[in-house]
Amino acid sequence: MEIPLGHEFIRNTEWRKRTSQIRSRVDSVTRLFRSKKYSAPDDFFFSFEDLSLIGKEYWFLYFNVPGTRQQAVMTFGRSEEEVGVNRARVPRTVDHPHPRPGNAIKCAAVCWLYGGKKQVVIDSQADVSLQASGKRNLLCAKNGRGDSASIEGKYPDFRISLLHNGKSVFSARASPQKEGLPYEIIQTPRAPIAKALGAVIVNYYFDFAGVLDGKKVHGKAYLQKVVATIPFVPWNWVRVQFSHGATFDFFAAKLHDNAPAELQFASNNSLDVGGRRIRAAGRLKIESWFKGEQRKWLLSGKDFYLAMETYSAQPFIMTQKTVFRYDEYLVRVTDFAMKSGGRIYSLSDLGEGSGIVEDANGYLI
């Protein structure tokens, strides 16, 4: 069947328009990774980026009360393509490609906490808005049912609030930690072949004091913002806080879901203690047994041993053209030993430990 000339012209015009849009969005992220330096952390944290193809933008706020099981986790984010996260379905960003401060953007949001029991506060689509000014920044996610998560202030002082049915279930004030790294801005190297692929990350490290589920608490806060134009691949992340102030951090990507521990690519495995960052010697591997809230973990290697047991878990199932499962496990440290510089660090030195283990499997383009 022949297509009339008018239809052919329209089809070609739409194709050229779509091609131009794709080229523009690839160029925008290339400029992001090439030219933006983000000299101040707030410049990046309190901003919406013009996402390109396969672009992703998310915020992660994590609060740990060392020596207890009290923890709070807030996550909200979006993708350039439409994506499902648990019960939420978030529309594609291309429908509003140029977000501006003050305009709400549709995101998925999952916020939960553990006081004496697990409480899921938000697990739905949310409207995320931001305001950025010289004296006050505000980033807020609301789902329209009286649930919201927000952070406001200006580095280095922030206030965090988590409301459920209009009532506060967690509130905190974050301030610079007394020792150790205050924040870091990371720009990953671009792939030599696909120069538009990469990521920009800002990590804040804070002390905090506040009220969690009606109880006064104080501990350590880890706040993160990520913009990435790379597929999500399987990974494990472990962050443990000890009651005497030390922190252990580990991250490893995996080649595929069932890759043996020996084929993980660790980017960091360090113990922060007394204002010093000490790297664990050699390659560490992570193993686990059982499922759900019975899951047990072992991270081990040369002169290193960290055993943990899960006491609460929250699943994330992300669906796009593929399925990506990302689960958060709150854990208690049952044993720890690390040898460095002729010294062995143990639980008796560092105090009780608790933290989070991320376990991600599958792929999200």
Instruction: Quote the pLDDT of residue 15.
Output: 43
Answer whether residue 111 shows pLDDT above 50. Answer: yes
Nearest to 61 by CA among 112, 132, 129, 121: 112
Residue 198, phi then psi, degrees to nearest 5? 165, -170
Could you tell me what percent of the chain has a pLDDT over 90?
48
Per-residue pLDDT tens for 304-342?
A: 999 999 999 998 877 777 778 889 999 999 999 999 989
CATH architecture of 231-365: Beta Barrel (2.40)
pLDDT-derived band at 8, boundaries 50, 70, 90: very low
Three-state SS across 69-99? CCEEEEEEEEECCCEEECCEEECCHHHCCCC
Q: Using alpha carbons only, what angle is made at residue 190 by residues 236 and 249, rounded to the nearest 5 degrees?
A: 25
Answer whether residue 265 shows pLDDT above 70. Answer: no
Instruction: Quote the pLDDT of residue 257.
Output: 59
Domain ranges of the chain: 1-229, 231-365
pLDDT-derived band at 251, boundaries 50, 70, 90: very high
Q: Is 66 helix (H, G, I), strand (E, B) or coil?
A: coil
Per-residue pLDDT tens for 49-65?
A: 877 777 889 999 999 99
Query: Per-residue pLDDT averaged across 266-290, rounded?
Result: 88
Instruction: Quote the pLDDT of residue 1.
Output: 38
Q: Using alpha carbons only, what angle is made at residue 340 by residues 334 and 346, rounded to the nearest 5 degrees?
A: 25
Mean of the per-residue pLDDT values of the chain = 82
Distance CA 211, CA 261 (A): 39
Read off the tokens for 239: 């962050």
